[in-house]
Structure 1
Amino acid sequence: MKKVLQLIFLIQLCLLPVLGLSQNAETAKPTFTIRGSVIESDSRKPISRVNVEVNGGSYTTTNSLGEFRIPVKKGDEIIISHKDFETVYYTVTNQDRITVEVEPTTETDKEKISYRKDTSFNSLIDSAVVNIKNDANKSIEFVTLALEQSRSIKQNAEAYEVLADVFVQLRQHDLAVSNYRISLQNFNSNDVQLKLAKAYQLNKNYQESKETYQSI
């Protein structure tokens, strides 16, 4: 019986390094830069100022040629959003360049759905705000739906501000910083600048916090 117990103990000791390596391999996935572009499907015209965000990580916007570069890891989800088309979600599987083709909303279509979208967007944002303290995950769902209904950069800014507020509540201050910055990229606001400065402070980015406070 003693020999059996010793054997089991030895097996467990042998397995521990293997399990540790497995966990480290998962958390230490290599980061690489993926390149892409966003264009209209019909005219092939590049779309600038498109928000490109890695879920829970980096963010950028497309340049005048509709191009972007962003650091990612395999398995990351890229969120591509703009006021003129529905939000696109892309899961990274390799380092290949990606081209996102979208169909812009026509002016006629905008007129038809303008009021409905405004009402829906505001309702979704209100629901997100109400749920921040009691059900943060539900708030994130409402913000995601609101971004799909957004039809202006100001609404985008409002949605990302609320999303950042959610991450502050969850004490995920790095994500709060990222989303406040995206909000400010869409529409500048002193209130959001103050929130960003506070988020920097909570994330222990004291120099960035000081500089943000001084810039207001």
Structure 2
Amino acid sequence: MAGKPKLYYFNGRGRMETIRWLLAAAGIEVCFCFIKKPIILLIFLLKDGSLLFQQVPMVEIDGMKMVQTRAILNYIAGKHSLYGKDLKERALIDMYVEATMDLNEMIMHYPIQPPETKAKHLATIIEKATTRYFPVYEKALKDHGQDFLVGNRFSRADVQLLETILMAEECKPDMLSKFPVLQAFKAKISNIPTIKKFLQPGSQRKPPLDEKLIPKVMSIFNIGNE
């Protein structure tokens, strides 16, 4: 029997967070190997060639040491039936997911913005979320009248959209005020048992980066990018 997947990253959000979400949605227990100092990353990961491109996140799973966030997510989704029933559904899921990851990336970088650009960055997040991204999901769900984004079946697209919605609401609590269908979607997906468990206090979900953690994170990644 295969052991639990091992997740290598710092003890906080970042590009590992969506991987945590997807594994949690699939009901998979994981082990964390937190990177606390650059030298640890250098000795234990770079020196033995585990990090193909000198970057984390890295996930040990099924005998592989996987890097590159999208490759990891694709593998987990495919393995756990969260990637549609055919090639067309997978293509649609990919389109939705790529868009949510674009918005997710903007939100993820908000805490590390310098003070002089932070307000402008937040305004961009709000503008993009409410005029470019959320209207698409609102219309898609409304047009087909189903509970899930693709094929009336729970998929990674639903997981990643919920993650991004909750991150957006951390920036602006009323972000969904003009999107009633997305509000219903949020409630529905949040109550799926594995997701509900992940949203409980004490779960492996990570909070937003705070000011105290940011310098530590920057130090960890001074030998490479995420």
Query: If the length of structure 2 is used for normalisation, what is the TM-score?
Result: 0.32
Task: Find the structure with the greater CA-based Rg.
Answer: 1
Q: Higher relative contact order by CA 8 Å / sep ≥ 6: 1 or 2?
A: 2
Query: If the length of structure 1 is used for normalisation, what is the TM-score?
Result: 0.33
More strand by share: 1
